[in-house]
Each structure stands twice: as structure tokens, then as C-alpha cells.
Structure 1
Amino acid sequence: MAKGFLAGLKGVDAFGKTTEDVKVKTRTGAFLTILSAAIILAFTTMEFLDYRRVAVDTSIVVDKSRGEKLTVRMNVTFPRVPCYLLSLDVMDISGETQRDITHNILKQRLQTDGQKVPNAVSSELSNELDKVNSARDPDYCGSCYGGLEPEGGCCNSCEDVRQAYVNRGWSFANPDAIEQCKNEGWSDKLKEQADEGCNISGRVRVNKVIGNIHLSPGRSFQTNSRNIYELVPYLRDDGNRHDFSHTIHALSFTGDDEYDIYKAKVGREMKERMGLGKNPLDGAIARTSKSAYMFQYFLKVVSTQFRTLDGKIVNTHQYSSTQFERDLRDGGNADTPQGVHIQHGVSGVPGAFFNFEISPILVVHSETRQSFAHFVTSTCAIIGGVLTVASLIDSILFATGKALKKGGSSGKHL
């Protein structure tokens, strides 16, 4: 019974065997066999390389993140603005204002030839003035010379008097007449550094809303809901003409620290596809010979997310940039020897302004790789297809050769 059942299975065998006696081997068949093997090897190798290759699928979704902060990395050089005049402020649409940021920011004094000033990192005069103030009588209470007094009622440093003047709406035009400034040698220190430049680098944390980062002369103060800039030291004619010519070595919006690690691992071709090359403003140079000159950069920031094969998610931001320049004198705001307070938004302030706007779109780059099942299926299709086509060609050539031989034999017989 079992033998009969197994014997009956032979009828459904789709792979009928031929005996060695009826096989005919030809040189054409051998050539096609070698050619087929070469084609199969080449196509299988390409398929294997494609299987190992990491591809990137890009999709766009709505950015639903809330309450996040962006890290802005910058490295900018101002060859004709001393560090003590350079102030970094951040304002945004939410009303948050960060004035004269120094945390995570490094200011490097530069000589006229662009070289770093030896043994000098930051030109902030407050570090030296703190030592002077510490040597004073603890009960000392300096006059504010008519300026708006602080809560304590005392102006113990030249900077305190200067701020009191600004808060009152006065111009701080004659520091040599102020006792605190004379004791601190304020004017002498400014003259020593008047012809220097400044490199400012570091990180700034900003809210993920519309805002601006501005590098401007002097410190800004808020009076009656207005942002006021005291520009006397910048505009003073001391024989050194200041201007905001600058070079942007690097400016980027980042999220995770893992982004740099991921960027280092990605190949050159992949970087170009995903836009991981230079940022639009990296290496940008802006030049002017006018002190009352404003440089504005309008940045469109897009959130970007990278999803790796091992499930890791890396967040960062990319941006596009448009530049605009304005001569403030053309707007009727001429420099004056005494200096003026300039209200931002009405006539402008000399400096470099980076206005950023956050896009509601999130670009997602997902790493993908061909599945092993797809690789096996493709390999089988390649082998079967090549062998089938080679078999058909061999059959046609064999039949044609056989017919020609038969025709030749018949002709000889006649």
C-alpha cells in the first residue's frame, strides 16, 4: 500500500530527469554556461551590495514639539570692534530678553593684524574693576551724578553711573568727570583697547519661537518699554574708526549633542542628500567702512530629525538665510560727537542681527535597509531568470544548427 502510494507520487514530479545517454553537450552550451555564471555572479554581487547599503527615506510631518529650546552655536569675528564694546543680546516674541550674555560665551581680544592678544581672553572690564572695588571702604557709597539711582541708592563703579545715566535717558558723554571712572582708569583702559577686534564664540540657548540674536555696541537697557542702546563709546571720535565688518566662521542651530557624532559617521554622499554639509552662513564675510551700519540676517529654521537603523533618534535644525544691509545715516540718523540713544525698531542700531523664525514643519530622515527576504528573493529571481533565458537561447541555437546540418546533408544526397 505504501509502495503504491509513493510510486503514484512520481506522477506529480515537475523535475523530470533525463538519462546520461540522451544528453548532448556542445561547445555553444559550454560558452552559454560560463557566460550565465558570470552574469549571475555580477548581478548577485550588485544585489548584495544593494542589500548592505543604507538608504534614507525623507518625509515631512507637522512639528508638534512644545516648550523646547534651541542651542545656537556661533563663532563670529569683528576685526574693528573691541570686546568691551560688543554685547550679545537675545529677544523673542514671548517677551523673554537675555541681555549682555556671558554664560557659555567666550570673547577673545584680537590685535589689528587679527592675532590673539597674548594672555587675554575676555576684555570685559568688570573683572578688573571688581578688584578695584574690593579694595574700597565697605561703607563707601558713590554718587550717581543725577542719574536714576539703583535700589541700593549707590553707584560704586563707573559702570553703575553709566547705567544710571542710561536709565535716566542721558548720554554718558564725559566719563572723565566721574570720580569712579577716574579712579578705575576707565578711559585709559578703553583707549588701550580702542584699536582691537574681537572674536565671540560659544553657545546660546533660545526659545523655540520667533526671535533675534543681536551683536551690537554697548549694553542695552529697557526704559518705558523701549530698548535703549548707549552708543557713546562706539561713536566717540578717538582716532579709531569702529565698524561692524565681520566674518561668520560658524552659525548653527542644534538640538542634541549626539548630532555631531552622527554627522561624523555619515558618508559624504549621504551628507549631500540630507543637507548635512556647511550651514548657509558658515564662512560668510560682510564688510563696511561706516560705523552706523546694520547687518541683518533673516533665518528660516526647520526642525530636522534623523532616525537610525538601531532605533536612535537625533534631533537638530537646519536653516536658510537671507541677508539685508542698511546704512543708518540714510535714514536720518547721523553719528554725533556726543553720541545718542537709538531706539531699536525706529531707526536701527549698528551691529549684526540674526532674526530667526521657526517653521512648523518637521523633516524626518529615516535610515532603511533592504530586508534579507528581499535579498534572497531577488537572488533566486536572478539565477532562475538567467538560466531560463540561457536555456532558451541554447535550445534555439542547437535546433538551428541541427536544421542547418540536416539541410546540408540533404543537398549533398541530391
Structure 2
Amino acid sequence: MSTTQRPKLISIDAFAKTVEDARIRTTSGGIITLICVAIVLFLIRSEYLEYTTIITRPELVVDKDINKQLDIHLDISFPNLPCDMISLDLLDETGDVQLDILQSGFQKFRLIHDSNGQVTNEILDTDSQTLNNDISLYELAKGLKDGEQGECGSCYGALPQDKHQFCCNSCAAVRLAYAEKRWGFYDGSNIAQCESEGYVKRINARISTGEGCRVKGTSQINRISGTLDFAAGASFTSGGQHVHDLSLYDKHPDKFNFDHTINNLAFGSVVPEVKSTHSLDGHKTELGKKAHLFSYYLKVVATRYEYLFTKKATIDTNQFSVITHDRPLKGGKDEDHEHTFHARGGVPGVFFHFDISPLKIINREEYAKTWSGFVLGVISSIAGVLMVGTLVDRSVYAAEKVIRTKKDL
């Protein structure tokens, strides 16, 4: 290298060297050095702990699985309403109505109060289930063909029978026929089919003993916003309207209400360690009001949990936020808020209005810092502490020098 190039390189040297003989070591400098070393070790340890810490980082993406069906896990108790009087229906935004989906994945359990006040669960016998709307009225009340011999039970004026077009040979057929006419069925008293099948005796016995009901199970629904409703009496559609037969519910003014306890409500796979996937668990309502409507507005968001280690499988589930609301069917001024007026009308029951979000949250496990971030953090910690230590040492040395000078005077 030529001599003309060396001065240029020397002029840009950022690491100027000090002469060894010009260095002065002091006691205060040694103390500051020990303090700096301790601080550096502490900062390095903190950087390492942060580097090895596993965090969950959320990411919001468009849900591409919107066409897949959604699992719903439901466990709800009604302590003041017999199972025979509860129907569970699903109405979605497409206009489709699924009546009595209790028969597609859910079971009813009778809540029986014994003499000691304890409540026992007993599965409801299959002949006590609500109307099966998968069977049409015309199949259930099929009439006799011309010349065909057989029994043709009375439909009590609900269907034409002058030529045996329809025959109500079962209690369920009469109930469907009454539903088609929008007639109140009550408890089926004085209807021969219901009396002979023991329906009247059974349902009145359960009403008199004050039985409750627990609905529990898992089913699949489409990923479309809609309403899941528990209401009193048999449900049916007539004239494009979704209605319920409330005759028996209204017959006893001093009995029945929709007080309830939500034991579990979850969409998709249940993740026990994540409370947000089932935020209504344990929710209890006890108002004791007969003509009352309870509404839950759910915002359901698809959620995926991706774990750092392959030992844990990826979990696809859903979490939801909820807004609760209840109102009396008679409407009028709210008891707690004098400036709030409720609408009048409706059906007593518990309604879950769910809205399916088109977005998905991906909770991905990862280390809090990358390897390069860890190295950079360590170097920055060392350099920063040494720089501050140098400034403090110079300040202390200058102060000591001033003090010694004054003493010498």
C-alpha cells in the first residue's frame, strides 16, 4: 500500500488507540466496571429468556372454509319447563327453517325433583319427543284408497274425512292436523288417540310434579347467520310463518317459565384451556317471569390454533362474543331504565341469534425473538452499558480530580 493511501485510512479510523502508559486506573473505575458487568449479565439473561419465550401471535385472514358445516355443542337446562313442551328450531338467512332439530343430534333429559329436593337426570323416552317435522302431515295422516279397508281415526274436523282422504290414527297425526289449522292442542284431553296412547296422562303427570328439562348434544349447522330458538309448544310453519302452539303453556298461568342455565355452548372443537371459545358457560337466569323473551346475540369467529411443536395438532374451532337482552312480551317501560320502552309481542323462549364472521383468526405460536434479534439485543445491551459506564467513570474521575485540587490548596 502506498504512503499516500495510509493517511486517508488513518483519518477515518473510528477505533483510535490510547497509549498504554497514559491510562489511569482508579478504585471508582473498578466499582463502576463491576456494576456494568452485573448489569450486562442481567440484560443478557433477560434477552435469552425473551428469546426462548413462546408467545401466541394472532393473525386475521379471510375464512376460506365458509362452506364447511359448523359443529354446535349445546347443554342447557330449563328447571321450570317439562321436556314435552320444548321445541328447538333453526332459522337461517336463506329462509330455510329446520323444525325440531332436537331429533338430529340432541337429547332431552327430564329433571326430576325427588322428596329430598335433589334433581336427577333421566333421558326422555322416545315417544315423548316433540313432533317430528321430517314427516309431513299428509304422510302421517294418509287416508284410505278407494275400496281399501281399514281403520280411519278421526281428525276432529281439522282435516276433511268425508271420503277418507285423511285418517288420524295416532296422537301425533292429530297434533299435526291441529297445527296445520292453527288450533290449540292443549294436553290432548278428550282426543281418543292421545288418551289411549297415554299421552294425556303422561304430560299432565309431568306438569303436576314440576319437572324440568335439560337439552344436551352436538349437531351440525351451515355457516350462515341465523337464529336458534327454544320455545314452548310444537313448532310448525303455516302460511310462510313460523309459529308455536302456546295453548298448553298459556293454560296454566301459575306454571312454566323460561328461566335457564347454559351449562355449555360452543361452536366447533372445544378447547378447554381457551375460555373465549365458550364464554357463556355457567350463565344462569332466574327471573321467574312467564311471558318473557331471552335473546343472545352471538358474533362467531372461526379460530385456528397453530402450535410451535408438532406434538400438538392444529386445532380449528370458533370463539364468539355475546350481547344478552331480555324483555317482557307485554312490552312497555323497562323496569330498570325508565327511558327505555320494549316492543310488544313475540313468543316466550330463549333465542340465540348468531352471526358468522367471514374472517378467521389464526393464533400462531412462535418465539418472542428471532436468533438475529437475540444477537442484536445482546450486542446493544453490552455496547449501551459500556458507553454509559464510560461517561459515568469520566464524570466521577473529573469530580475526584476537582476535589483533590481544592484540598491541595
- Short-chain TM bin: 0.7 to 0.9
Distance of 1:18 and 1:363 partners within structure 2: 62
- The residue that corresponds to 1:211 in the other structure is 226
- The residue that corresponds to 1:339 in the other structure is none
Distance apart, 1:378 and its partner CA: 0.6
- The residue that corresponds to 2:137 in the other structure is none
CA root-mean-square deviation: 3.8
- The residue that corresponds to 1:242 in the other structure is 256
Q: TM-score, normalised by structure 1?
A: 0.73
- The residue that corresponds to 2:28 in the other structure is 28
- The answer to whether 1:116 aligns with 2:119 is yes
Distance apart, 1:357 and its partner CA: 2.5
Q: Percent identity?
A: 30
SS of the aligned residue for 2:390 comes to helix
- The answer to whether 1:143 aligns with 2:153 is yes
The answer to whether the 8 Å contact 1:77/1:249 transfers is yes
Paired amino acid for 1:104? G
Distance apart, 1:90 and its partner CA: 0.9
- The residue that corresponds to 1:301 in the other structure is 300
1:304-315 pair list within 5 angstroms? 304-309=303-308, 312=314, 314-315=316-317
- The answer to whether 1:287 aligns with 2:306 is no
Distance apart, 1:360 and its partner CA: 4.0
1:200 to 212, 215, 221: 215
- The residue that corresponds to 2:346 in the other structure is 348
- The residue that corresponds to 2:144 in the other structure is none
Distance apart, 1:374 and its partner CA: 0.5
- The residue that corresponds to 1:336 in the other structure is none
Distance of 1:328 and 1:148 partners within structure 2: 34
- The residue that corresponds to 1:191 in the other structure is 204
- The answer to whether 1:106 aligns with 2:83 is no
Distance of 2:200 and 2:42 partners within structure 1: 79
Q: TM-score, normalised by structure 2?
A: 0.74
The answer to whether the 8 Å contact 1:83/1:123 transfers is no
- The answer to whether 1:160 aligns with 2:173 is yes
1:252-291 pair list within 5 angstroms? 252=266, 254-255=267-268, 257=269, 260=271, 264=273, 276=276, 279=279, 282-290=282-290
Distance of 2:192 and 2:293 partners within structure 1: 35
Distance apart, 1:125 and its partner CA: 3.2
- The residue that corresponds to 1:376 in the other structure is 375
* Greater share of residues in helix: 1
Distance apart, 1:386 and its partner CA: 1.1
- The residue that corresponds to 1:220 in the other structure is 235
- The residue that corresponds to 2:51 in the other structure is 51
Distance apart, 1:74 and its partner CA: 2.4
- The residue that corresponds to 2:327 in the other structure is 325
Q: 1:305 to 1:107 in 2, by over 3 A?
A: same
Distance apart, 1:25 and its partner CA: 3.7
Q: 1:94 to 1:392 in 2, by over 3 A?
A: same
SS of the aligned residue for 1:299 comes to strand
Distance of 1:405 and 1:52 partners within structure 2: 50
SS of the aligned residue for 1:177 comes to coil
The answer to whether the 8 Å contact 2:187/2:248 transfers is no
Distance of 1:142 and 1:79 partners within structure 2: 40
- The residue that corresponds to 1:229 in the other structure is 244
SS of the aligned residue for 1:77 comes to strand
Distance apart, 1:397 and its partner CA: 2.8
Q: 1:320 to 1:277 in 2, by over 3 A?
A: same
Distance of 1:346 and 1:225 partners within structure 2: 21
Distance apart, 1:214 and its partner CA: 0.8
Paired amino acid for 1:79? P
Paired amino acid for 1:375? F
SS of the aligned residue for 1:125 comes to helix
Paired amino acid for 1:251? L
Distance of 1:208 and 1:149 partners within structure 2: 41
